[in-house]
């Protein structure tokens, strides 16, 4: 389909009309739509797995674990909790509002929303956000990535078979199509991607004062800090697993590791062993190892690796034909070098060293940079680790673990500052796609005359008002 401004405007108008019909206000309707979506995901499971393999070289296990299975968990959690989340809150209004004794807070949908999804998790980060939008009672336009061609087509086919386009529709295309979408007046925009594009989206959204939710990677990347008292073998195993996942193309992935210099050599040795144990001596030849999304991404990764060729102690090679670059350890790296001052989004892994007694100085440096989407610390000193996680600014994270915080049900997934605005998953996604409306029910009987003129400066009205407003 060829998209023009008029075509997209027509899609949005039809969705606005559908929303104004009031059908989406019914919680039972939303639940039926979520069940339809779940059934469609299971029906298209094999198609989605194949698409993830074609676009990103994902193995069947990784494709299901990271995109499809996680999406099913999100659907199940939302189906279980939706009635409870959508129920209006009832509050006592206070004596000053008498005879209006009770006030309700309704959780109202925004209306027609725009979801712009990325290439790295093209199923989860399009349909997973859609789950939240549907649960909130919205209609939705989903702009899928032009980079993950096969996944975008599969998602589009799934949605067109499941929903009418005046309720949910998928739009495919490049940045020009995305800009045509942004030119429309949506009621909410949800974007997952880079901070740079997010600035453009906020600029366009501001023209209509459209509220936005942003899930970003952070400009200076996610840190993993390993103290000298950490279980180094356990840390190496988990860091290696995570860096291999999707070939590093994950917004919460480890951008750089900071290791206490007292144990840095030992940790790097263990990390090498773990990479070989998990993916083999030549990751590029292993069919389980994912590829980079495009030739451009491969070239960018290779070019940056060449800048640090003399310090690559593991990996440092790839296959342009297969669009795969091996997991590569760059060691040692100074904390002020360019490679640790921007998001990598590839399998390069710089290792920064610090004296363990100077860990607070390291934390101070990290805190002065843009706020990351994720923070990971490895240490047996739980008091220190807890203090760090309570005092630093970041989206989410783990102590002695990586990435699994986003798999926990009932908790938010979100960033802060340059790593995002807003939150979703489960009830947090429902809240992100609804706004609270406060309604007091008054009465035409027994109204207190306190609010009506004349007041007087020291009369009984003023005394009663001061009493009620304590």
Catalytic amino acids? 215, 251
- Biggest CA-to-CA distance, the chain: 88
What are the Cα distances from residue 85, in Å, to 91, 107, 345, 428, 432? 16, 8, 35, 10, 12
Does residue 271 contact residue 265 with C-beta atoms inside 8 Å?
A: no
d(CA 455, CA 112): 46
Cα dihedral sign for 356, 361, 367, 368? negative
Does residue 392 contact residue 366 with C-beta atoms inside 8 Å?
A: yes
Does residue 465 contact residue 96 with C-beta atoms inside 8 Å?
A: yes
Does residue 376 contact residue 225 with C-beta atoms inside 8 Å?
A: yes
d(CA 158, CA 153): 9
Question: In sequence order, which residues have a C-beta less than 8 Å from that of residue 377 and are 6 or more positions away?
Answer: 224, 225, 226, 227, 385, 388, 389, 397, 398, 399, 400
Does residue 128 contact residue 406 with C-beta atoms inside 8 Å?
A: no
């Amino acid at each position: 389909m060829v998209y023009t401004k008029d075509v997209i405007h027509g899609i949005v108008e039809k969705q606005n009309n559908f929303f104004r019909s009031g059908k989406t206000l019914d919680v039972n309707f939303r639940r039926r739509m979520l069940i339809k979506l779940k059934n469609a995901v299971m029906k298209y499971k094999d198609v989605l797995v194949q698409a993830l393999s074609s676009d990103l070289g994902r193995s069947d296990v990784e494709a299901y674990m990271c995109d499809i299975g996680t999406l099913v968990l999100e659907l199940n959690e939302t189906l279980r909790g939706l009635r409870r989340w959508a129920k209006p809150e009832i509050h006592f209004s206070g004596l000053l509002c008498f005879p209006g004794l009770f006030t309700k807070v309704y959780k109202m949908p925004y209306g027609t929303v725009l979801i712009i999804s990325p290439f790295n998790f093209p199923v989860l980060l399009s349909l997973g956000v859609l789950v939240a939008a549907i649960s909130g009672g919205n209609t939705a336009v989903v702009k899928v990535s032009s980079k993950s061609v096969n996944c975008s087509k599969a998602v589009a086919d799934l949605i067109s078979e499941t929903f009418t386009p005046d309720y949910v529709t998928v739009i495919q295309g490049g940045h020009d199509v995305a800009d045509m979408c942004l030119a429309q007046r949506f009621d909410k925009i949800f974007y997952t991607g880079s901070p740079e594009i997010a600035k453009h989206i906020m600029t366009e959204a501001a023209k209509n004062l459209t509220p936005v939710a942003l899930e970003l990677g952070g400009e200076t990347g996610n840190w993993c800090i390993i103290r000298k008292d950490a279980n180094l073998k356990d840390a190496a195993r988990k860091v290696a697993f995570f860096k291999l996942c999707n070939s590093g193309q994950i917004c919460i992935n480890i951008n750089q590791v900071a290791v206490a210099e007292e144990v840095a050599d030992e940790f790097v040795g263990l990390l090498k062993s773990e990479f070989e144990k998990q993916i083999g001596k030549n990751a590029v030849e292993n069919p389980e190892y994912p590829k980079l999304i495009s030739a451009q991404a491969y070239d960018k990764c290779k070019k940056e690796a060449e800048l640090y060729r003399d310090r690559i102690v593991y990996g440092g090679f790839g296959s342009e034909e297969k669009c795969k670059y091996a997991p590569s350890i760059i060691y040692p790296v100074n904390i002020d070098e360019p490679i640790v001052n921007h998001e990598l989004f590839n399998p390069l892994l710089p290792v920064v060293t610090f004296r363990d007694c100077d860990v607070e100085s390291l934390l101070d440096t990290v805190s002065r940079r843009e706020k990351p989407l994720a923070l990971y610390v490895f240490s047996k000193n739980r008091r220190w680790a807890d203090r760090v996680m309570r005092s630093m600014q970041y989206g989410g994270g783990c102590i002695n673990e990586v990435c699994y915080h986003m798999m926990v049900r009932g908790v938010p997934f979100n960033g802060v500052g340059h790593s995002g605005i807003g939150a979703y998953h489960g009830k947090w996604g429902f809240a992100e796609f609804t706004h609270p409306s406060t309604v007091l029910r008054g009465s035409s009987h027994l109204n207190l005359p306190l609010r009506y003129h004349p007041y007087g400066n020291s009369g009984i009205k003023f005394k009663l008002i001061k009493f009620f407003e304590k």
